[in-house]
Structure 1
Amino acid sequence: MTYHFNRKFLIILFLVLLYLPGMLLADIAILVHGYHTGGKTWRASGITQVLASKGWYDISFSGITPENNGKYIVAVELPAKAPIEVQANYLSQYIAEISQKNPQHKLHLIAHSAGGLVARLALINNYASVINGNSNEFIPIVQLITIASPHLGSPIAEMLYSAAADTPIGFFAPFIGLDEINDAEVLYKQLSREHKNNFLYWLNRQPHPPIKYISIVRTDGSLLSGDIYVPPHSQNMAFIPAVNQHSQVVLTPGDHALKFNDGIIISHLLP
């Protein structure tokens, strides 16, 4: 009984710390890139420019410390070919440092592609530590927005993993300019379509913190104009058992890459 009481108390406290008016005065949007890209992709797509026009100030490389009011953007850099757990640890360190330096700021996670899984694992790990009593550090993240993320897996990633693991392609890849197939073999395995006992099956059933979840979903999965890497249903967090009805969905056309229009959508989802 004591365990259940403490667990409920911690969840209530978690929510109070996130939403108590006056405690959190400013906002920081943390941008998490996907596979084979970096923080610069948010600028190349025009997203940071859109957000700047809405009053969000990009401090990713400026060295400027946010004030206790205002809106700020930080684009993180992760080892994009590394396994999800490794990237999530890097992201957790970024988040912890940002939170410690800016304790009065609400944090918003915005992630593209595989970065959405990285962001979810970072959230899950922090939430588990708090609920299990291993940490008292409540990270004030109020929402996760993912863009074209393979929450239920990617058939393309599955194919690439099979090629690296089960065929001579993996051996010859470095000689034909496809060495990333070997470099990211574990990541491809983790991004493979969910089935019982694989990584995504486990991830999608872990307790998620009680925050807002928003999926920006590419509606077209066609070969010529759509997202050929991640099927639309896989991008939707509403199909994740641990998130389910807590997820909001925004449908948008286009292929897998970040778009200028994503910036417009994000600007409406942020405060």
Structure 2
Amino acid sequence: MKKFLLIAAVVLFTAWRPAQADVLVLVHGYLGTAHSWAESGALGRLQQRGYQLVGILGYSPQGVLVQRLQTGTSERPMYAVNLPSQAPVVIQADWLAAMLREVRKRHPDEPINLAAHSAGGIVARMMLVRHGALGVQHLITIATPHFGTGRAIQALEATDSSGMFGFIKSWLVRRYTGDALYATAKISRGLLLDLTPPTPGNLLFWLNQQPHPKIRYTSIMRIGTFYMPGDHMVPPISQDLNRVPALYGRVKTYSMAQGHLLTPQDGDLIGNLLAARKPAAK
């Protein structure tokens, strides 16, 4: 009888215990912001599934800035981050780690899901390698150049003003692209170097060999079709996280006939993936 009462008490406690929050953190890509998810329509699709944007996390000389957008509790709280997207990957990764620590203060017992677009996926992986999981249970990367992109090489070559004719080359490139775009690429040279295809001695070669935390990993690849040209920024094969030596066989990969930018369908797919989540492998 006592054993029956004990089991009944445990079942009753479990049934009435508040459900764990399903925390989602959105990470933008190069030249993006926290608003990129709303502007693309992905945020709206997530909100239709019950996720509520409760805060935006930013950076400052004083540390992490937290902009609260909602008071009270939510079963599916969602945060968007503002990273210094033109900075090298390591700098962005360290800021992302600091922001996740802030999220953990507010949700100490809830697992965190990270959804990262483009270069944001590299930043998220670097954060995991340098700082550990920090409560993250699932990383979803979208159109991320896990094996680099030739576009980074092109931008580096176009803004290289060294050599005898460097000044003339610089003038011609600026005339073609405009001063603003040229200046942006120049400021971003550290990041662009990080996004070049893996070769011994560069960042992606090193990162792809490093042990990653034992969490769930998903990569969403952009592919072309007869009607859709696909991703002109990052080749589909470079977006396949399962090809990374350190993660081979641990990643689920999905393909979408879309371009490089975020779309409303990304919100749908993220929602579906989180709804079908399973316990992470030990």
**Equivalent AA in structure 1 for residue 83 of structure 2:** L
Separation of aligned partners in 2, 1:66 and 1:139: 24
Q: Deviations over 1:27-58 (max 9, x none)?
A: 21110000011110100111111111111111
SS, match of residue 151 in structure 1? coil
Q: Give 1:250-269 correspondences, 5 Å limit.
A: 250-269=254-273
1:101 corresponds, among 95, 106, 112, to: 106
**RMSD (Å) for aligned C-alpha atoms:** 2.3
Question: Could you say if the C-alpha distance between residues 157 and 252 of structure 1 is closer, same or farther in structure 2, counting changes exceeding 3 Å?
Answer: same
Is residue 54–residue 78 contact of structure 2 (8 Å, CA) maintained in 1?
yes
SS, match of residue 159 in structure 2? helix
Separation of aligned partners in 1, 2:146 and 2:253: 13
- Unaligned 5+ residue runs, structure 2? 1-16, 56-66, 276-282
1:71 corresponds, among 56, 70, 76, to: 76
Separation of aligned partners in 2, 1:72 and 1:196: 41
Q: How many residues align?
A: 239
1:82 corresponds, among 87, 95, 98, to: 87
Q: Which has the larger radius of gyration?
A: 2
Q: What is the TM-score when the length of structure 2 is the normalising length?
A: 0.79
The alpha carbon displacement at 1:211 in A equals 0.4
2:206 corresponds, among 198, 202, 208, to: 202
The alpha carbon displacement at 1:174 in A equals 6.4
Separation of aligned partners in 1, 2:135 and 2:40: 28
Matching residue of 2:231: 227
Is residue 19–residue 75 contact of structure 2 (8 Å, CA) maintained in 1?
no
Q: What is the TM-score when the length of structure 1 is the normalising length?
A: 0.82
Separation of aligned partners in 2, 1:66 and 1:217: 36
- Unaligned 5+ residue runs, structure 1? 1-21, 128-137
1:155 corresponds, among 150, 154, 171, to: 150
**Equivalent AA in structure 2 for residue 198 of structure 1:** N
**Equivalent AA in structure 2 for residue 118 of structure 1:** V
Question: Could you say if the C-alpha distance between residues 24 and 233 of structure 1 is closer, same or farther in structure 2, counting changes exceeding 3 Å?
Answer: farther
The alpha carbon displacement at 1:213 in A equals 0.4
Is residue 227–residue 254 contact of structure 1 (8 Å, CA) maintained in 2?
yes
The alpha carbon displacement at 1:62 in A equals 3.7
The alpha carbon displacement at 1:64 in A equals 3.2
The alpha carbon displacement at 1:165 in A equals 2.9
SS, match of residue 152 in structure 1? coil
Separation of aligned partners in 1, 2:191 and 2:225: 22
Matching residue of 1:113: 118
Q: Deviations over 1:221-254 (max 9, x none)?
A: 99x7211110001001001111111000011011
Matching residue of 2:22: 27
The alpha carbon displacement at 1:83 in A equals 0.4
